[in-house]
Structure 1
Amino acid sequence: MQLLRTLLRPGWLLTTVLVLAFAAACFLILAPWQLGKNSETEHRNELLRSATQIDAVPLEELVAPGRSLAADDEWREVRLTGRYLPDEQIMMRLRSVNERPAAEFVTPFQLAGTNQVVLVDRGWVRPGADGVVAVPGAPDGQITIDARLRKSQGTSPGKEPRYEDGRLTAYTLDTAQLSRISGTDFAPYYLQLTPDQPGGLGVIDLPQMESGPYLSYGLQWLAFGIMAPLGVGYFIWAEVKHRRALRAAEAGGTGTADTAAAGAGPDPHSRAGQRKRIREELRDVSTAGTAEPRANAEVGTGIVVDTDDDDVQAKLARRYGR
């Protein structure tokens, strides 16, 4: 009951609600978010490991014309024949290579004997001393290239592709957005050119196969979700224990004070104290007949020996008014 009363105090009630909300966020949002990123990274690493151990295959074996890319086929190396369409080249802005600014160039590639057009990321180029990026040319005529399959990146709000100085630029490689802006129907995926290919620029390295800190972050959020309610429970229990100790101390102090007051008796200067003293003196006088005569001292009169009970009672009556 005391624990319930403590929990219902406004301060503890608000703290409990906030801590429970934080714990729920840890278990339902934060930990799954980090653990999900860890799962995605592990899946990507597995795809990379398997893709680098398989030789290039014709594009149509993995992706039929007009079909989307299967998730497990990303990073697979494919071979295709066709020609570049440099007039529709796209410049990807705000790229960084080895912590230095760069721009990537994506050139449409039309497959031989079809109308299918696939976007090919040819690599990166450094800007010049004046900050201007030179537009690299692409080989003419029909060629055969090897490249890795990549899924479309999507577009963030406010980062849509647009034309600048007659050149199509973009921040992310969203094939649907680029198709809409350029008017060309691109495949719903793109290709990343492998090293030493016709039309290749600065090589884009494969991602490092590492798990990152996501697993440890996820476990930390789970630990926080467990420790926060336990911490609040401990502090509530400590406060209840402290209040019980205070009540016990107060009860013990009151009992001691009552006992001391009872043992001390009435104030000797009060009427009750005077009556008690008279009764004690009368008891002493009543035993005078059988005991030896005793000396009664009175302030200012010296020592007087009383042997007569009537005289003693008369003196007491005169002294105390009784």
Structure 2
Amino acid sequence: MNRESDQPSWGFLRSKRWAGYTGLVVVFSIVCALLGQWQFDRRAQARAEIARIDANYANAALPLEEVLPSLDAYSDDDDKWQTVEMTGEYEERVLLVRNRPNQQSVGFDMLALFRTDSGNVFVVNRGWIDAGNTPDEPGKIVAPPEGRVTVHARLKESEPEIPGRETSGDMLATINLNDVADLVEQPTYTGGYGLLSAEFDAATEEPLSAEAGILQPKPERDEGPHLSYALQWYVFIIMAWIGLAYAIRMEYRSLYPQSERTKRQDKKTAERKQRRGLDDGEIEDALLDAHR
């Protein structure tokens, strides 16, 4: 009996169930696309950082006032890693930044206050030191050299504040230059600070071998796995739609096993199996059936 309802139709896709499945795949695809774009953005940021390293790290030192014409100047990261030169004297006061990692240990960064000949204070990170007997106390604090010196330092931007962590005396939670300026209470550069590169006697221009902490090495030129992660998210989108299409196909076959479409698909499947022969699993199944 050929009733109209028995005729093959894709009308079942208009049901609430299949609308829900399709909506779920659409939402999943949107989320994956956003995550993929986020990874592309992170890759772009990493490549921009590599470009800054290549452009600035090996440059000759430029006068500090030329790179930072005002105390709060910082040129959208374009000046990052540029070596700046300044002449003046270190102050005796040293600030410490806690919870700074170095390989397998956590210690402190030493911040020296360098008073330039112009009278402004520039913050110089003189390297990392290990903790002492307790994690909250530093080990040996190395004093900066005395007298007039010329300093070369690679420029970095001020770090943001960390919620829930506060400055305690001369102990900082992060290298936030506004916090440093509040502590120093003197005209202080807040647009950027410097990672110590070299020091020279201002009178003789001879390099100084003053002891310092462990200096930060040259940053790696590594963009990370962001490209592969981004592509993976788009592969997930393709897999989701393939899965939906497969589910629709299986639903159609279960509803209309005798339809011409289903018969043609079964015939093609049988012909493919015949051309390639039986696989090991099918041979084992046939042998088991023969002995039953």
Q: TM-score, with normalisation over the residues of structure 1?
A: 0.67
- The answer to whether the 8 Å contact 1:153/1:173 transfers is yes
**Structure 1 residues 107-147: Cα deviation after superposition (integer angstroms, max 9, x where no partner):** 22222123x22221110111234543133322233221000
Q: Provide the rounded CA distance (Å) in 2 between the counterparts of 1:146 and 1:153.
A: 20
Name the amino acid aligned to 1:5.
F
For 1:204 and 1:44, how far apart are their aligned partners in 2?
16
In structure 2, the partner of 1:20 is 26
Q: Distance in 2 between matches of 1:86 and 1:226?
A: 63
- Report the identity percentage: 26
Which letter maps to 1:31?
G
What SS class does the counterpart of residue 73 from structure 2 fall into? coil
Query: Can you give the 5+ residue segments of structure 2 that lack an aligned partner in the other structure?
Result: 1-7, 200-207, 261-292
- Counterpart among 36, 48, 51 of residue 53 in structure 2: 48
Alpha-carbon distance, 1:6 to partner: 2.9
Picking from 141, 151, 162, the partner of 1:145 is 151
Give the drift of 1:7.
4.6
Partner Cα distance (1:232, 1:127) in 2: 57
CA change 1:225–1:68 in 2 (3 A) is farther
Aligned with 1:133 (options 138, 157, 177): 138
Residues 61 and 185 from structure 1, CA distance in 2 versus in 1: closer, same or farther, beyond 3 angstroms?
Answer: closer
Would the aligned equivalents of 2:71 and 2:188 in 1 still touch at CA under 8 Å?
no
1:105 has 2:114 as partner:
no
Distance 1:240 1:182, change over 3 A: farther
Instruction: Tell me the distance in 2 between the aligned counterparts of 1:180 and 1:246.
Output: 83
Between the aligned partners of 1:124 and 1:180, the Cα distance in structure 2 is: 23
- SS state at 1:235 partner: helix
Assess if the C-alpha contact under 8 Å between 1:62 and 1:73 holds in 2: yes
Q: Kindly provide the amino acid, as one letter, of the partner of residue 54 in structure 1.
A: N
Runs (5+) with no aligned partner, structure 1:
249-322
1:55–1:77 Cα contact (<8 Å) kept: yes
Q: Any conservation in 2 of the 1:6–1:240 contact (CA below 8 Å)?
A: no
Which structure has more relative contact order (CA 8 Å, sep 6+)? It is 2
1:119-268 superposed matches below 5 A: 119-131=123-135, 132-134=137-139, 135-159=141-165, 161-163=166-168, 166-170=169-173, 172-180=174-182, 183-187=185-189, 188-195=191-198, 200-245=212-257
Q: How many residues of Structure 1 are paired with residues of Structure 2 in the alignment?
A: 240
Q: Larger Cα Rg: Structure 1 or Structure 2?
A: 1
Q: Which of residues 5, 8, 28 in structure 1 aligns to 2:12?
A: 5
Task: Supply the RMSD in Å over aligned alpha carbons.
Answer: 2.5
